[in-house]
Structure 1
Amino acid sequence: MRIGIHYANFTHPDWEHRLTERLTDTARVADQGGAAMFTVMDHYFQMEAIGGPPMPMLEGYTTLGYLAAQTEKMRLGLLVTGTTYRWPGLLAKIVTTLDVLSGGRAMLGIGAAWYDREHAGMGVPFPPTAERFERLEETLQIVRQMWSDDEGPFAGKHFQLAETICVPPPVQQPRPPILIGGGGERKTLRLVAQYADACNIFRSDVDGVRHKLDVLRRHCDEVGRDYDEIEKTMVNGVDGPDPAADPDGFVRDMEQYAALGISLVTLMPPTDDPVGWTEQVCDHVVPHLAGR
Structure 2
Amino acid sequence: MDFRIFTEPQQGASYDDLLAVARAAEKLGFDGFFRSDHFMRMGSADGLPGPTDAWTTLAGLARETSRIRLGTLMTSATFRHPAILAVQAAQVDHMSGGRVELGIGAGWFEAEHRAFGIPFPPKLFDRFEEQLAIITGLWDTPDGVSFTFRGDHYTLEDNPALPKPLQSELPIIIGGNGPTRTPEFVARFANEYNAAFPELDAVRGRFGTIRDTCERLERNPDDLVYSAALVACVGSTEEEFRRRASIIGRDPQELREHGICGTPSEAADRIGAFVREGVERFYLQILDVNDLDHIELIAREVIAAL
TM-score, normalised via structure 2 length:
0.85
The answer as to whether partners of 1:202 and 1:237 remain within 8 angstroms in 2 is: no
Give the whole-Å Cα distance in 2 for the aligned partners of 1:52 and 1:114: 21
1:285 aligns with 2:280: no
2:279 to 262, 269, 285: 262
1:220 aligns with 2:214: yes
- The 3-state SS of whatever aligns with 1:114 is coil
Give the whole-Å Cα distance in 2 for the aligned partners of 1:132 and 1:52: 29
The answer as to whether partners of 2:230 and 2:260 remain within 8 angstroms in 1 is: no
What is the match of residue 151 of structure 2?
156
The answer as to whether partners of 1:2 and 1:286 remain within 8 angstroms in 2 is: no
Where structure 1 has 5 or more consecutive residues not aligned to the other structure, the ranges are none
Give the whole-Å Cα distance in 1 for the aligned partners of 2:200 and 2:186: 21
The Cα shift of 1:63 comes to 0.7
- The 3-state SS of whatever aligns with 1:107 is strand
The Cα shift of 1:237 comes to 2.7
1:127 to 108, 113, 121: 121
- The 3-state SS of whatever aligns with 2:185 is helix
Give the whole-Å Cα distance in 1 for the aligned partners of 2:79 and 2:10: 21
1:198 to 154, 169, 192: 192
- Residues 1-292 of structure 1 aligned to structure 2 (within 5 Å): 1-9=1-9, 19-46=14-41, 48-49=42-43, 51=45, 56-128=50-122, 131-148=123-140, 149=142, 151-173=146-168, 175-237=169-231, 239-240=255-256, 246-271=263-288, 273-289=290-306
The Cα shift of 1:77 comes to 0.8
The answer as to whether partners of 1:244 and 1:281 remain within 8 angstroms in 2 is: no
The answer as to whether partners of 1:34 and 1:282 remain within 8 angstroms in 2 is: yes
Distance 1:95 1:258, change over 3 A: same
The Cα shift of 1:224 comes to 0.9
The Cα shift of 1:196 comes to 0.4
The answer as to whether partners of 2:78 and 2:107 remain within 8 angstroms in 1 is: yes
User: Residue by residue, what CA displacement relative to the aligned partner does 1:203-233 show, whole Å, maximum 9, x if unpaired?
Assistant: 3333211111111112112211111111111
Give the whole-Å Cα distance in 2 for the aligned partners of 1:144 and 1:105: 17
Which structure has greater strand proportion? 2
The answer as to whether partners of 2:230 and 2:282 remain within 8 angstroms in 1 is: yes
1:8 counterpart letter in structure 2: E
Percent identical: 29
Distance 1:270 1:86, change over 3 A: closer
Q: Which moved more, 1:277-286 or 1:78-87?
A: 277-286
The answer as to whether partners of 2:260 and 2:271 remain within 8 angstroms in 1 is: no
TM-score, normalised via structure 1 length:
0.88
The Cα shift of 1:54 comes to 6.9
User: Residue by residue, what CA displacement relative to the aligned partner does 1:166-185 show, whole Å, maximum 9, x if unpaired?
Assistant: 33421100x21000122222
2:125 counterpart letter in structure 1: F
Where structure 2 has 5 or more consecutive residues not aligned to the other structure, the ranges are 233-254
The answer as to whether partners of 1:203 and 1:209 remain within 8 angstroms in 2 is: no
CA RMSD of aligned residues (A): 2.1
Give the whole-Å Cα distance in 1 for the aligned partners of 2:147 and 2:290: 49
The answer as to whether partners of 1:244 and 1:277 remain within 8 angstroms in 2 is: no
Give the whole-Å Cα distance in 1 for the aligned partners of 2:26 and 2:261: 17
The Cα shift of 1:272 comes to 6.4
2:290 counterpart letter in structure 1: D
Give the whole-Å Cα distance in 1 for the aligned partners of 2:50 and 2:103: 22
- Number of matched pairs: 280
Give the whole-Å Cα distance in 2 for the aligned partners of 1:10 and 1:115: 13
Task: Name the structure, 1 or 2, with higher relative contact order (CA <8 Å, separation 6+).
Answer: 1
